[in-house]
Amino acid sequence: MIVPRHYKEMPQRYRLQGNRCKACGKVFLPPRLVCPCGSEDLEDYSLSWKGKILSYTIIRTPPTQFKYQKPYAVAIVELEGGGTVQCQVTDTSLEEVEIGKEVEIVFRKIFSEGEAGIHCYGYKCRVV
C-alpha cells in the first residue's frame, strides 16, 4: 500500500527537493503551494546536506516495521541555508547524539515495507 505513496515522495526523499518563498525566504520540505506569509510565489530549492541537531530522542519502543532497528536515534535537523527535517541519526553511537552537534545528510534505506518487503529509501543524518 505504501509503494505508490513512497514513489510520489521520491524527489523529496532522494534529493531533498523542496521550495523557497520568494517573498520571505522561508524554505520548505516538502514543497508548499502557499507560504504562511501569504505568498504563492515559491521557487524550487534543494535543501543543504549539512546542518545541526535542534532536538533528538532515542526510540526504544518502535513501530513494528522498525523493530529490527531498535534502539535508534531520531533528530530534528536545521539545515544550512534554511529548512528543517526530521530523520534518523545513523553511523553514530547513541552517546554521541547531542543537541547542537553538526551533522551531514546521507542517503540510506529507511525500512522494508510490510508484506511486499519493498525497500523504502530516503535521508538520514550522521554526526560529523
Q: CA separation (Å) from 32 to 3, 35, 85, 122?
A: 22, 7, 15, 19
Q: Nearer to Zn ion by C-beta: 21 or 73?
A: 21
Phi-psi region of 117 (alpha: psi -120 to 50; beta: other; left: phi over 0): left
Encoded one letter per residue, x for contact with other proteins by CB under 8 A and - for no contact, window 11-50 reads ------------------xx--------------------
User: Is the separation of the CB atoms in 125 and 103 below 8 Å?
Assistant: yes
Rg (the chain; Cα; Å): 16
> Rule CB under 8 A: is residue 112 a binding residue for other proteins?
no
Binding site for other proteins (CB under 8 A): 5, 9, 29-30, 54-66, 69, 72, 74-77, 84-88, 99, 110-111, 120, 122, 124
* Contact positions vs Zn ion (CB under 5 A): 21, 23-24, 26, 35, 37, 39
